[in-house]
Structure 1
Amino acid sequence: MLVNWAGDTLAISDEITGEVATAYLFVAVLPYSGMVFCRAFTDMKQDAWNSAHVQAFEAFGGTTQIVVPDNAATATNWPSKDDSARVVNARYRQLAKHYGSAVVPARPKRPRHKAAAESAVNVANKRILGYLNEELWRTLVELNAAVDERVVDINERIERADGSTRAERFTVEEAHLLQPLPDDRFESVEWKQLKAAKNYHVTASYQHYSVPYGLAGRILKVRLTAAKVTVFDGESVACEHPRKHGRKGQYSTLAEHVPKHHQDMDGLWSAKWFLDRARPFGPGRSVPRRSR
């Protein structure tokens, strides 16, 4: 499997703030059949890179013996400043070991080592980004649903020179050569010690997650994966949330964590919540300055 980031990007406009974020497209290809997988992410950091590989293997229904990345920082790095050789970084090695794959980075300035990846990126730029960059995307979920539709078109409807599609060649000649997926999905794990604020939320990577309000002010252990945030009180799990991505400052608040005097407040900490609290005071108005 050859992997790379597409050169072009897409824009996501947040439906609440109007803030525009950049979405980056990960591209994976099986070079024999040309079968393509694509997924959009809000950054190109290690968690996104690893998650993209996991999703690609699951989409193909198995793992490959070799993965060939370009020399992205999330794939390889220099062990020392004066050493020209690049090595696969530790977290990427963990993922490859979990899936029984060997990472063999493409050599710099050797286009033939990654020709299929470059071809797949060109196809993605033309048939995915070229189709979608005129739309106004509100969420990453909405964007990836559209990406999936375009990938189906590439794999199942576009005929190759011999009249077959990528999906047909993959199904007949390639799928049975993949290694089976392991029983457990690979997850990158990060641990933090965080203090629950007075509003009974902990803040991780600029996003806010509620805890039982009785834990406000306590130092708690927090486990972060690409998909989940798990909060521990000592050795016991206090709560778990789906991990927030994208716009900074989002809140995930569970109803059972809210004290009684907040329980009748719909959408706690949201823009609607603040507007509802302000509405009894009437429309905004300026207050005249007092003369000295």
Structure 2
Amino acid sequence: MTYYLINIENSDFIKIKDKLILGRKSSCDIVLKDDLVSGRHCRFHVTERFLMLEDLDASNPVQVNNQEMDSKSRIRINVKDKLKIGSTEFYLSDKEPSDEVTYKSMVLEKVKIHETFDSDLDYEQHQSHWHEEVSKKKNEIVKIQKKLNKVTSSKDKMQNLKNQVAELETNIEKLQSRIGETKNYSQEELVEKISLFSEKIKYYTEKRDQLFAIQTLASEKEELKAKKKSLMEKLGELSEEDLDKQHHELSKIYNTEVDALSKLNEKLKKS
């Protein structure tokens, strides 16, 4: 199915038969030279039954019937929907546009025109004048929008700075309150006392480390004494005379058995 995106202002139209990308970049299918249009602004998808419109993360998303699309969203659009892409307004049709159809479809423009002219004939006679006025007005709006964005950015920056200042003032008040709870020293006195106590801290830290070392050595000494005591107790349980006697008897038995084994081996060889 084929659709037509018709410019409300000048009746120019864009034919949509399949996928179509609109944007400011030259690589797009349709290039729109508009400061309010992103490099890749939106994409149209034609299906068998309807038409889909996809936002391509534009900074100024397409408006469909005055409702701005969500970023990167994809929605279905219908014939007679009004689309605003950048600063240009279009309406969607499934019929190839003609002067008559286009004119009848420009409802919003006709409402404005009839506020000034009494008939369609007056409108047609002054149509070129209105096109020029609309173009001028759009250029003015673009310039004002740029200035407004700049001012808005400055206002946001100023508000952010004000918030930071307010936060700093609150923190200063809290610190001043805490300082007030302690003895009031001058800056010179604070420096002097910090230096004094730093020296004391260093001195007592060294003393503490010495005590820790002494404590460690004493602990090691006690462990060695305990091991010595255990060994002495084991030695006390043994008798040197008994050990010598046992050693003599076992050696005698060992030698006897070795001799017996030797004799058996000799008999084994002779047999």
TM-score by length of 1: 0.22
Structure with bigger strand share is 1
For the pair shown, which has the larger CA radius of gyration, 1 or 2? Answer: 2
- Of structures 1 and 2, the one scoring higher in RCO (CA 8 A, sep 6+) is 1
Structure with bigger helix share is 2
